[in-house]
Amino acid sequence: MFADKMILRIPGPTPIPPRVQTAMNQPMIGHRSGKFSALFARTAERLKPYFGTKQDVYILAGSGTSALEMGVVNTLQPGDEAAVLVSGAFGERFAKICERYGIIAHRVEVPWGKAVTPELIETFLQKKPQIKAVFATYCETSTGVENPIADLAKAIRTHSDALFIVDAVSNLGAVPCEMDAWGVDIVVTGSQKAFMLPTGLAFLAASERAWQVIEQNKSLAFYLDLKAYRKSLAEQTTPYTPAVSLIFGLAEVLDIMEEEGLPAIVKRHELMRDMTRAAMRALNIKLMAEDQYASTTVTSCDPEGTFHAEALRKMLTQQFNITIAGGQQHLKGKIFRIGHMGYCEPLDVLQVISAIELSLHQIGAPVELGAGVKAAQEVLIAHV
């Protein structure tokens, strides 16, 4: 085994294409130079199709959570009421951010593994017309559930004037997102998931409606003050020093993504989801998400006590230098999650499934070698 040949199959950070790695090694340039300004403005422009918006996309230096916090602190005041759709760990994070800023966060919860339905938020909004914003998670990374954002947006628009703010950190760039057409007000994402970069950039786009609120809002934010980012972007720059090397990388990522094209990217992720799910079914391993709401970027699997998820993960690392994710919070130690997003293709999925089968054999779990691989291959054959 080559120690440097690490295979990351976690839901972020994801592997980085060599072209992108090379682009990030370019010599540093002045961040207030004309050269950087032109690159920065062009790069921000090229992000728009992935959000499905005509609005500007703001790029800040920070992990995904910085953009979540930016979405909260710029739109709401202490004492305001918000609804947070919680389907797992990341929905809960939005609620915690709200509470830290003195916002009253009403959790509209579903059990982990389930998706939030439009009916649920409709009923809630009818009871609470004072809600100023609704927060949701597009892909709930902790359970591998993709929430039906377009339908949720429609339900919210029909019953309320509340802003609709969406965390798309773990799937934007891999899934359809039509922020303008769906009526979503704010979409946020980060660099280390489907955008194939290291952690360190966060992206946010806001609707006209959101901007009306943001302009009026006396925000507590300094570093995360969106108005400052808007003013700077109009001058092709950022309020604080941008992560120049990551912007070099992002420009290269966008080249790669434009070469493949978003429709093909979306199809590739759907195929990887279907292959992974077929394999787990063939191996008699329970899938946490229902087919209808299964994420195309991460698959959560529950061995239900037939073997130890942590023993499997340990064996994968020891034998193959492959990292998959474990469970979060109450699912810690109980489940495992396979990331299949960004710089990942069907052959990589066959590799991780094959390694899972071998590792299951090693830890003494019941497994029919090749059953998962075969099922995934059949999905692949049917696709081409």
Ligand X SMILES: *Cc1c(COP(=O)(O)O)cnc(C)c1O
Indicate the angle between helix axes 244-260 and 34-51, nearest 10 degrees.
Answer: 40
Q: Percentages helix, strand, coil for the chain, rounded to the nearest 5?
A: 45, 15, 40
DSSP 330: G
* Nearest Cα residue to 136 out of 161, 158, 105, 160: 105
Gyration radius from the chain CA atoms: 21
Interface with ligand X (CB under 6 A), residue from 8, 10, 20, 64:
64
Interface with ligand X (CB under 6 A), residue from 39, 169, 224, 283:
169
Given the rule CB under 6 A, which of 37-45, 58-66, 148-156, 240-248 is the region that contacts ligand X?
58-66
Look at the chain and count its residues.
384
Asked if 327 touches ligand X (CB under 6 A), the answer is: no
Given the complex with ligand X, which of 43 and 65 has the nearer CB atom? 65
Asked if 328 touches ligand X (CB under 6 A), the answer is: no
Q: How far apart are CA 277 and CA 341, in angstroms?
A: 15
* Nearest Cα residue to 144 out of 319, 360, 295, 325: 295
Show the binding pattern over residues 129-168: x = contacts ligand X (CB under 6 A), - = does not: --------x---x-------------------------x-
Which DSSP helix (H) or strand (E) runs through 233? helix 226-234
Interface with ligand X (CB under 6 A), residue from 40, 51, 90, 182:
90
Q: How far apart are CA 228 and CA 217, in angstroms?
A: 13
With CB atoms as reference, the residue minimizing the distance to ligand X is 64
- The annotation status of 337 as a binding-site residue, yes or no, is yes
Shortest Cβ 13–ligand X spacing (Å): 9
* Nearest Cα residue to 110 out of 297, 290, 335, 339: 290
Q: How far apart are CA 12 and CA 204, in angstroms?
A: 18
For residues 213-272, which are near ligand X according to CB under 6 A? none
Shortest Cβ 242–ligand X spacing (Å): 18
Asked if 63 touches ligand X (CB under 6 A), the answer is: yes
- Tell the residue number behind the tokens 């422009």, with chain if given: 45
Given the complex with ligand X, which of 134 and 315 has the nearer CB atom? 134
Given the rule CB under 6 A, which of 59-67, 98-106, 216-224, 303-311 is the region that contacts ligand X?
59-67
Q: How far apart are CA 87 and CA 156, in angstroms?
A: 17
Interface with ligand X (CB under 6 A), residue from 21, 65, 284, 317:
65
Given the complex with ligand X, which of 11 and 242 has the nearer CB atom? 11
In the chain, the amino acid numbered 296 is T
Shortest Cβ 121–ligand X spacing (Å): 18
Query: 353: helix, coil or strand?
Result: helix
Residues at the site binding ligand X, with contacts judged by CB under 6 A: 11-12, 63-65, 90, 137, 141, 167, 169-170, 190, 199
